[in-house]
Structure 1
């Protein structure tokens, strides 16, 4: 481009050359304005694609639950005395009632110093000369009631808490200890509740051991180490822990029941299954509505995206109204989305080869697509029919919805998810996502190409503008020379007269 110092400003011709060049360049730049609008349109369409994928991703996240049997075979567990006995059951548990009475809770064995084992200034985290070189010996019992012996020597520099760590390590976590600085007492205990040694204490040690001499422990003072005692439907039973599993139902003992046993009931929770299916249907319909709205939205071709120059010339209200129309219909009649909607809609109608039950399609369990074409394939649910199907054959409903096999036995949910995933993948290939660079998706490469064309066009505009200034400069010089010659001739004629 010619510098400002070299430009002639129209003194000789009397013309507004600067304004003339600007007007000429504005006309020359018209194709660039169209390029900017095309680039902005492509960016807006890419963002609309990504918004659609975000909506579909929200639905895709719900497919995991819909593939689980628990969504169709939920169980509810109630107890007449949950403060004493509570329970949990798997989704496929049989409906039943259990009478459970708890006479005694399981507890773990614990022993504590008779008096202060260390003075008030003792620090359990610091190396202790009192403990150095002493041998720690004790025994505990494993699940089979077999005695396990532990022996190690306290090393130089070890603290009391280091000794406790080694007690836990050497006993494979079966025995632990801690020091209460307020009372100065040492506590040694089993980490699991229950009785492992029927004939005596759970933690055994000699009278001349560090437990007795240094820690002031008396083996006869051990308390706890009791099994839970309970009755199941009147039969006396016991457990080392306060949990017990019977027929797939896990009972938790929280307190004793006294004279009246707790009655625990396990029932199929059809309401929970219906709620989960309805929640999925609601989300599915929401996504279908969004996609249909976008593909049917009116496109206003007379309202292209605004360039920055156009925005600068408009008020905020004018910009808002213009952009409302320019951003409408970005995905109108989009082939990728329309094909995806069609595939999902047809998936709901397909028959499922369900050899394990009487149901052959979701229609049999009360789910259909709307007969109103304006709904674009939204689902409708006959809740009463769905509830009855779940009550009569929850396993059959599960197989109709989710049977993760290939072929005619593939569940409807699996087929719909296949169609959804394929649509999302095609959109990602077209419009990318936050994890992809522009080179990695189609529209990104188009945007790169547009930017390159716009940069090349800008360089050509600089050359055109330079050419215009060069032409006007030469014109100015010619006029100036003509004016100078005219003045000289007038001067000569004046002298002759």
Structure 2
């Protein structure tokens, strides 16, 4: 620019002394990105300047070859040349993908970035290698998350109840501060899942999922212990031998993946990977827990506990009606008795006055 500042033109210009070639390259890609050159020829010399520019024989590079010379167009006192890119078209595994604006394509989780065009009919061989470091980090994260979940479940399963903290009545809450009520209720709610059968089943399912072999995994790498993941205590926490894991990944990376993520087409539990087993079993346990306890505080969710609460509320309502009816009967009998006593008193007074 005239003020010495650079504009965001998205182009780079360079001169190659060896080939004696000057190039202008658009740093973006696709048909919407263009390189345009405009030269102010001055009044009366437009034709001569345009002829001079055309003699430079500027061409467009495509597939490593330079096209026929492009022509400048004169308009008034300006000569202009414009060259536009084209969207990429590529065939991957027999399928053609067109109009790739940014020269990138993602297929089956693999991102391809196309650097240059190749002649028609030319095949490019792509070799995809396993990212071992990423796989190791994922396995370490799995072990860490598994142990955290197991700790949380064991904590709730073994959390005993404070025997001296019953649920507060409204009268008791009214006589206490807000902070006192919160602390009391926290202890009153302790032990709600102590030795809970649902939690015991979930913990058992987790152990089963990580200890049994994966039937679909080939060769010697067919269980977690074979790739360095073993149980380190009676609670079932996992520990990782990273060296053993790296050895397994280097030898059979596909088998390591299969141990974790394989999903059997026939839904055979023994052939499913560890992560698939966990997702399946925990999903079923959560569904059972939802049917038992519900997922909201609304008792009308048709869960087992919701129905039980409704049953108790109906019994309480029926008992209140029974008590109200009994109370009314007593009032009627009391009134009848008072009337009888009043009549007897009147009769006694009559006879006494004779």
Same fold per superposition (TM over 0.5):
yes
The answer on 1:421 being equivalent to 2:280 is no
The answer on 1:382 being equivalent to 2:241 is yes
Number of equivalences:
276
Hey, what does 2:188 align to over in structure 1?
A: 326
Provide closer, same or farther for how the CA distance between residues 457 and 311 of structure 1 changes in structure 2, counting only shifts above 3 A.
farther
Hey, what does 2:300 align to over in structure 1?
A: 438
Preserved CA contact (<8 Å) 1:431 1:444: yes
The answer on 1:276 being equivalent to 2:138 is yes
Preserved CA contact (<8 Å) 1:114 1:217: no
Preserved CA contact (<8 Å) 1:295 1:331: yes
Hey, what does 2:54 align to over in structure 1?
A: none
RMSD: 4.6
Preserved CA contact (<8 Å) 2:38 2:78: no
Alpha-carbon shift at residue 350 of structure 1 (Å): 0.5
Provide closer, same or farther for how the CA distance between residues 404 and 219 of structure 1 changes in structure 2, counting only shifts above 3 A.
farther
Hey, what does 1:367 align to over in structure 2?
A: 229
Alpha-carbon shift at residue 292 of structure 1 (Å): 1.8
Provide closer, same or farther for how the CA distance between residues 199 and 219 of structure 1 changes in structure 2, counting only shifts above 3 A.
farther
Runs of 5+ consecutive residues of structure 2 not aligned to the other structure: 1-11, 13-22, 41-59, 87-99, 116-127
**Aligned mate of 1:299, from 135, 146, 161:** 161
Hey, what does 1:393 align to over in structure 2?
A: 252
Preserved CA contact (<8 Å) 2:299 2:307: no
The answer on 1:461 being equivalent to 2:291 is no
- For residues 475 and 218 of structure 1, the distance between their equivalents in structure 2, rounded to whole angstroms, comes to 124
Preserved CA contact (<8 Å) 2:38 2:79: no
Provide closer, same or farther for how the CA distance between residues 485 and 320 of structure 1 changes in structure 2, counting only shifts above 3 A.
farther
**Aligned mate of 1:352, from 207, 214, 234:** 214
Preserved CA contact (<8 Å) 1:195 1:225: no
Preserved CA contact (<8 Å) 1:201 1:219: no
Hey, what does 2:271 align to over in structure 1?
A: 409
Higher RCO (CA-CA < 8 Å; seq separation 6+): 1
1:45-68 Cα offsets, whole Å, 9 max, x none, are: xxxxxxxxxxxxxxxxxxxxxxxx
- For residues 482 and 322 of structure 1, the distance between their equivalents in structure 2, rounded to whole angstroms, comes to 59
1:282-340 Cα offsets, whole Å, 9 max, x none, are: 22222222222222221356654334345446665664454334312222222222112
Preserved CA contact (<8 Å) 1:367 1:380: yes
Provide closer, same or farther for how the CA distance between residues 313 and 480 of structure 1 changes in structure 2, counting only shifts above 3 A.
farther
Alpha-carbon shift at residue 362 of structure 1 (Å): 0.3
Q: TM-score, normalised by structure 2?
A: 0.60
- For residues 474 and 313 of structure 1, the distance between their equivalents in structure 2, rounded to whole angstroms, comes to 43
SS in 2 for 1:458: helix
- For residues 223 and 317 of structure 1, the distance between their equivalents in structure 2, rounded to whole angstroms, comes to 75
Provide closer, same or farther for how the CA distance between residues 435 and 221 of structure 1 changes in structure 2, counting only shifts above 3 A.
farther
